[in-house]
Amino acid sequence: MKDILNTSYPLFESFKNKLKPKRSQAQMALSQVNVFSRLSWQEIKIVENAIHIRNYAPGEPVFKQGDPGSGMYIIMEGCVGIFLDIPQQAPKQLSKLGDGDFFGEIALLDASPRTAAATALENSTIIGFYRPDLMDILKTKPALGGKILLALSEVLAVRLRSTNGELVKVSRKLETALESGTNE
Amino acid sequence: MSNNDLVTIAPQSVRLFHQSLFKTLVYFFLLILVLAGAYKAFPLVVDALFLIVIAAILTAVFNPVVDRLESSGLRRIYGTLLMFGGVFGLVALGVVKGIPTLLTEISRIKDVIQQNAATESLDAIMGNLNTRIAEYIPGFQLDLDLISSLSSQFFSQLGSVLAGALDTLATIIFILIITMFFLVDGKRMTKQLIGMVPNKYFEMSLNIIYKTKKQLTNFLRGQLLAALGVAIQSFIGLTLLNWIFDTNISGVLLISTIAGMANMIPFVGPFMGMVPAIIVSLFNNLGDPVAASHFYYILHIVGMFLIVQMIDNNIISPIVVSGSMEMHPLTVILLILVGSQMGVLGMFLAVPAWGISKVVIQEVYQGLKGHHLI
């Protein structure tokens, strides 16, 4: 009986494969991002209809420091460098992001200027999901929009907690340094 | 360099010169062909653009309704069909009920103006009015010929506009079909169009389109709501005048609709809305001594429209119309003068068209500035 169950039947396998839903590369990339990871495939498909897939050449800026923030980016293929422009100095590379990485998600909530620049380091295919797209989803699919907003708030909460932790560490270090300074 | 070299270089440069001359001539010829084609196709392109612009404006008006229906779980296509069903129903009701009454009313008033007998009674009325006016403003005289020709022009223009609208029913249907496509597939179309924008301008373009669309929707919705407000108030006001003072104003619904639509033109619009009511009151009450003793209710009508304007300017407009329509009175007058070159429709569309262009220009400028491109 076990043998019968474990045997693979080519016709059945082919039928099973045909029934299996085909996921696009963009859908797979979106499902990896924490903002969309809890959405159903049906919902991810709606988000896929809203996103913009863009191609960047090496050295081409995705956005510049100081530009008004409009949305987030997810790297489908390629490599993007995050740079900090320092006056009268060469831009300082803060990080290098690759396939599946994402950046700029806070700009979905807030149009304040970008704090760093993002530049493609090689030929890259990047998904852009912008505030107008989110607003549109919120207007036409409020339940889905709410889920995305909740996930974004969670990202913000995690960042805030981690920033608080860092702040406590720094203030402790500062206190210790001040105390040792007074003792000396 | 030997003489032989010079001999080989010379024909080469000549050949190159000929090649470039040939290329230039071909490009010149192609350019002329393109320009000639564009000149020939220009009216068609302008017509198509006009239809697309009207459809885009209608899309901006209807989009919030379809969005609302979609958010309630209805598929976008069904939401669009439902909304169109409702609009068609209302328009059909308006056409069936309103157009015959309107055309009869127009031809009746035109006949009255053109008939000599009526003009004679008008002479009597004008004489009476001028005597009464002279008691208050010495030397001021109303000219009958001027009023008669103005009234005649107004109604014949209105008639021709309506007749034109009926003639171009096919165009209207075509515009509605384009609007339907825009409503169902507009987002995909916009996405494909914006996909062609270079990366450098992409974020900025997306923001500009979003903000402009939002502003345009708010602006049009505000204008339509304010027009509806004025139409409803005028309807109530004229009905009250008929009821309380027995002013005998017929076609109240039509006059209110004209007043509402004319209200979209600032400063001049309210007066344009007042004119048909005064004319109808004047012609409906010819030979009535009570009406004559009340100046044919002209002051009542003017007073009623002034109250409507006060309510509109101080309560309705500030609530529903966004600030994008703020214009200098001189700009409005100039725009209406320019628009009048294209007839009544031009006068009607000049101010809203400028308002929309202003919003687009403002957004593009702010977008370019925000992205440090200017």
Mean of all residue pLDDT scores within chain A? 87
Residues of A in contact with B200 (CB under 8 A): 61
Interior/surface letters A137-168, b for 16+ CB within 10 angstroms, e for the rest: bbebbeebbebbbebbeebeeeeeeeeeeeee
Q: Read off the pLDDT of residues B113-166 as tens digits, 9 standing for 90 and up.
A: 666 455 556 666 667 666 766 666 666 666 666 666 666 666 666 666 666 656
Q: Are residues A52 and B195, on separate chains, in Cβ contact within 8 Å?
A: yes
Q: In this complex, is the C-beta atom of B372 within 8 Å of any C-beta atom belonging to chain A?
A: yes
Do B76 and A140 count as a contact with CB atoms less than 8 A apart? yes
* Mean pLDDT along residues B303-326: 75
pLDDT, average across residues B307-318: 82
- B141 within some domain: no
**With an 8 Å Cβ cutoff, are A128 and B202 in contact?**
yes
Mean pLDDT of B320-340: 69
In three-state form (DSSP H/G/I as H, E/B as E, the rest C), the secondary structure along chain B is: CCHHHHHHHHHHHHHHHHHHHHHHHHHHHHHHHHHHHHHHHHHHHHHHHHHHHHHHHHHHHHHHHHHHHHHCCCCHHHHHHHHHHHHHHHHHHHHHHHHHHHHHHHHHHHHHHHCHHHHHHHHHHHHHHHHHHHHHCCCCCCCHHHHHHHHHHHHHHHHHHHHHHHHCHHHHHHHHHHHHHHHHHHHHHHHHHHCCCCHHHHHHHHHHHHHHHHHHHHHHHHHHHHHHHHHHHHHHHHHHHHHHHCCCCCCHHHHHHHHHHHCCCCCCHHHHHHHHHHHHHHHHCCCCHHHHHCHHHHHHHHHHHHHHHHHHHHHHHHHHCCHHHCCCHHHHHHHHHHHHCCHHHHHHHHHHHHHHHHHHHHHHHHHHHHCCCC
Q: Decide if B89 is inside a domain.
A: no
Residue B56 lies in a domain: no
The answer as to whether B54 is a domain residue is no
What pLDDT, on a 0 to 100 scale, did the predictor assign at position B9?
52
- Average of per-residue pLDDT values in chain B: 77
* Residue B189 lies inside a defined structural domain of this protein: no
Instruction: Give the global pTM.
Output: 0.67
Q: Which domain holds residue B218?
A: 199-374
B316 compared with B256, residue with greater pLDDT: B256
Predicted confidence at residue A72, as pLDDT, reads 92
The answer to whether B86 faces chain A, any CB pair under 8 Å, is no
**Cβ–Cβ gap B71/A142 under 8 Å:** yes
**Digit-coded pLDDT (tens) for A33-90:** 888 988 999 899 999 999 999 999 999 999 988 888 889 999 999 999 999 988 888 8
In angstroms, what separates the C-alpha of A81 from chain B's closest C-alpha?
16
CB of A175 within 8 Å of any CB in chain B?
no
Q: In what order do the strands lie in the sheet with A92-97?
A: A61-63, A117-120, A80-84, A92-97
Instruction: Report chain B residues whose CB lies below 8 A from the CB of A54.
Output: 199, 202
Domain boundaries, chain A: 26-178
Is residue B48 one of the residues assigned to a domain? no
Model confidence over B52-73: pLDDT tens digits? 888 888 888 888 889 889 888 8
Contact B148, B156 (CB under 8 A): no
Chain B hits for A56, CB-CB cut-off 8 Å, are 199
Please provide the CATH number assigned to the domain covering A26-178.
Answer: 2.60.120.10
Report whether pLDDT(B325) > 60: no
pLDDT of residue A54: 94
Domain assignment present for B9 = no
Inter-chain touch A130–B203, beta carbons under 8 Å: yes
Section B291-304 average pLDDT: 82
- B300-326: average pLDDT: 77
Contact A140 B371 (CB under 8 A): no
Query: Considering only alpha carbons, which residue of chain B is nearest residue A62?
Result: B199
| pLDDT confidence bin for B1, thresholds 50/70/90 | very low
How many domains, chain B? Answer: 1
Q: What's the CA gap between B264 and B320, in Å, rounded?
A: 13
Q: H or E stretch including A117?
A: strand A117-120
What ipTM goes with this model?
Answer: 0.79
Nearest CA in chain B to A112: B370
Number of Cβ pairs < 8 A linking chain A and chain B: 51
Question: What CA–CA distance (Å, rounded) separates A49 from A104?
Answer: 20
The pLDDT of B19-32, averaged and rounded, is 80
Backbone angles phi, psi at A166, to 5 degrees: -60, -40
Nearest CA of chain A to the CA of B64: how many Å?
9
Weakest mean pLDDT among A44-48, A170-174, A180-184:
A180-184
The 10s digit of each residue's pLDDT in A116-164 is 999 999 999 999 999 999 999 998 899 999 999 999 999 889 989 999 9
What CA–CA distance (Å, rounded) separates A55 from A37? 24
**Chain A (63-82) residues lying within 8 Å, Cβ to Cβ, of chain B:** 63-64, 66-68, 70-71
Cβ distance of A132 and B210 shorter than 8 Å: yes
**Would you tell me which residues 195-254 of chain B have a C-beta closer than 8 angstroms to some C-beta of chain A?**
195, 199-200, 202-203, 206-207, 209-210
